[in-house]
Amino acid sequence: MSAAAPVGIVLVSHSADVAASVAALALGLAGGGGTAPIHPAGGLPDGGLGTSAELICSAAKAVDGGAGVAILVDLGSAVLTVKALLAEGDELPEGARLVDAPFVEGAVAALVTASAGGDLDAVAAAASEAYAYRKE
């Protein structure tokens, strides 16, 4: 547990609706009280399907409180764009990290962990562990 600002979470999807809905789902399941900041970065600025570096960077800045930013992505260009931005070095906040996790389950795990005061390693680990939960 840390007294510092919580880890921020960014949800990157090809679809603005998916990113916003998963953020709302995670907020709902994270329960009442104060939660860590979570921001969707879905679709293109014009509303179309795709990945926007601009929306990702502004979302990451919006949730960055200095404790790191966990970025969860859906697939394809969302993965590649975040990787390319991280390689760039100066577009995303210091401490931004691509988290290898299933999008929906990982978002819930990340938000609950971040809201409980977990650090970036704990948030990333909780989100990645969501892969291990088998459904059959």
Interatomic CA distance for residues 83 and 99, integer angstroms: 11
Q: Is 44 a binder of another protein (CB under 8 A)?
A: yes
77, 95, 102, 129: which one contacts another protein (CB under 8 A)?
Answer: 77
Q: Is 24 a binder of another protein (CB under 8 A)?
A: no
Q: Is 48 a binder of another protein (CB under 8 A)?
A: yes
- Please report, as residue ranges, which positions from 53 to 72 form the binding site for another protein (by CB under 8 A): 53-54
Interatomic CA distance for residues 125 and 62, integer angstroms: 23
Q: Is 115 a binder of another protein (CB under 8 A)?
A: no
Selection from 77, 93, 83 nearest residue 44 by Cα:
77
CB-wise, 27 or 61, nearer to another protein? 61
33, 87, 134, 136: which one contacts another protein (CB under 8 A)?
Answer: 87
Q: Is 15 a binder of another protein (CB under 8 A)?
A: no
CB-wise, 81 or 113, nearer to another protein? 81
Q: Is 13 a binder of another protein (CB under 8 A)?
A: no
> Which residue stretches of the chain are H helix?
16-29, 53-63, 77-88, 103-115, 120-129
Size of the chain, expressed as the number of residues it contains: 136
Q: Is 17 a binder of another protein (CB under 8 A)?
A: no
- Three-point CA angle 78, 82, 87, nearest 5°: 150
Interatomic CA distance for residues 26 and 38, integer angstroms: 9
Binding residues for another protein (CB under 8 A)? 44, 48-54, 76-77, 80-81, 83-85, 87-88
